[in-house]
């Protein structure tokens, strides 16, 4: 049985996520997001939408990007 690499849960419906050539195994999206999603450089929350990338930093929304001095950030919809 595959085992979730984050919480170690042994679950028959675990799934694989391929990211940057590396395969990860998780039992739930919660674990996958916790392990793989980038964190907002301003508020620290996990970015599970498109987010905003600026100069190598990730933000969850235009508000956080603007608060951190990114000019002209807009939510991608
Ligand atoms: Zn897990
Ligand atoms: Zn944020």
- Give the number of whichever ligand sits closest to the CA of residue 10: 1
End-to-end CA distance of the chain: give it in Å, rounded: 39
The CA 61 to ligand 2 mean position distance, Å, reads 6
Which residues in 10-45 are b (16+ Cβ under 10 Å) and which e? ebeebeeeeeeeeebbbbbeebbeebbbeebbbeee
Taking the CA of 35 as reference, the closest ligand is: 1
How many whole angstroms separate alpha carbon 67 and alpha carbon 46? Answer: 17
Give residue-wise pLDDT tens across range 9-22. Answer: 999 999 999 999 99
Q: 2 CA to middle of ligand 1, Å? A: 11
Three-state SS for 25? strand
Instruction: Give the number of whichever ligand sits closest to the CA of residue 43.
Output: 2
pLDDT of residue 63: 93
Could you give the CA distance from residue 53 to residue 7 in angstroms, rounded to a whole number? Answer: 29
- Per-residue pLDDT, averaged over 1-8, amounts to 93
């Amino acid at each position: 049985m595959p085992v979730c690499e984050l919480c170690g849960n042994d679950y028959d419906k675990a799934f694989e996520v391929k990211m940057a050539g590396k395969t990860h195994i998780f039992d739930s999206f919660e674990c996958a997001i916790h392990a793989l999603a980038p964190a907002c450089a301003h508020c620290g929350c996990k970015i599970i939408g498109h987010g905003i990338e600026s100069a190598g930093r990730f933000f969850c929304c235009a508000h956080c990007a603007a608060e951190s001095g990114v000019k002209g950030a807009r939510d991608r919809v």
